Amino acid sequence: MSDERIDRIRSLIRDVPDFPKPGILFKDITPLLASHEGFVTCLDLIQERYASVRPDVIVGIESRGFIFGAALAARMAASFVPARKPGKLPADTDRVEYELEYGKDSVEMHRDAIAPGAKVLVVDDLIATGGTAWAACELVRRQKGEIVGAAFVIELTFLDGRRKLDGIEPFSLLRY
Ligand code: AMP
């Protein structure tokens, strides 16, 4: 992977301390999205990684995973499926809970979203503890989808989210 392209993407991520609460260093991707060249480079790099895999479906995780996932699906001639926060999807929905540092959260997917055997790429902007991505993968597995990858713009390696995805090798453009 070209270091120049990665360096350029890295320069477009803004660190915001203490957001949304004290002690969190928030990785703000809005400068990246505001740069046409930066955003396109991100899509290029993820597309290059998975082009030979030819995913049938891209699952984007609410909400920033929608931005990258939907754009990738359109480019890669795949369908786009949203994994959403609870209570947002209108039709028959499945839910997977996952642990947070304090408490629980969950993600949902329509039960008819994935055809059995479909090759699925899960996409989000960032993997931290890996709970959200794990839950999205679990929803796909319940519908007998085959997970062919999990792609992120940013990986916070010190939180070891990749361990939670056991068996799935995450692909990330930037590691902190
Ligand atoms: P996790 O389930 O811990 O892997 O958290 C991943 C989700 O939380 C992703 O959807 C991210 O958008 C969001 N997230 C977690 N930590 C951060 C952070 N430091 N900066 C920006 N987004 C974050």
Average pLDDT value for residue range 88-115? 95
> Which of 132, 137, 174 maximizes ligand 1 atoms within 8 Å of its Cβ, making it the mutation to test the pocket?
132
Answer whether residue 101 shows pLDDT above 90.
no
Average pLDDT over residues 153-158: 98
Catalytic residue, chosen from 64, 108, 155, 162, is 64
- Three-state DSSP at 156 gives coil
Query: Residue 31 and residue 22: Cα distance in Å, rounded?
Result: 22
Distance 27 CA to ligand 1 centre (A): 8
CB atoms within 10 A of CB 30: 12
Pocket of ligand 1 (CB under 6 A): 24-27, 61, 64, 124-133, 161
Q: Is 111 a catalytic residue?
A: no
Closest CA to 110 of 132, 133, 131, 80: 80
> Does residue 101 carry a catalytic annotation?
yes
Residue nearest to atom 3 of ligand 1 (CA): 129
Q: What local confidence, expressed as pLDDT, does residue 166 receive?
A: 85
Q: What is the DSSP letter of 82?
A: E
pLDDT at 50: 98
What mean pLDDT comes out for the span 123-131?
Answer: 97
pLDDT at res. 38: 98
Is the model's pLDDT at 1 over the cut of 80?
Answer: no
> Which atom of ligand 1 lies at the shortest distance from residue 135's CA?
2
Residue 151: phi and psi, rounded to 5, are -120, 140
Q: Which of 8, 14, 49, 101 is catalytic?
A: 101
Interacting residues of 120 by C-beta distance below 8 A, sequence separation 6+: 55, 56, 57, 58, 59, 81, 114, 140, 145, 146, 147, 148
**pLDDT value at 132 more than 80:** yes
Which tens digits make up the pLDDT trace of 47-100? 999 999 999 999 999 999 999 999 999 999 999 999 999 999 999 999 999 998
Q: What pLDDT is stored for residue 131 in this prediction? A: 97
The DSSP annotation for 49-70 comes to: HHTTT--SEEEEETTHHHHHHH
Q: Express each pLDDT in 19-35 by its tens digit.
A: 999 999 999 999 999 99
Percent of the chain at pLDDT exceeding 90: 95
Say which residue the tokens 């997977």 belong to: 96
Q: What is the pLDDT of residue 102?
A: 82
Which residue's CA is minimally distant from atom 12 of ligand 1? 126
Helices and strands, number each (H, E), in the chain: 6, 9
Residue 159 is given by DSSP the state G
- Stretch among 7-16, 96-105, 142-151 having the lowest mean pLDDT: 96-105
pLDDT category of residue 140 using cuts at 50, 70 and 90: very high
pLDDT value at 130 more than 90: yes
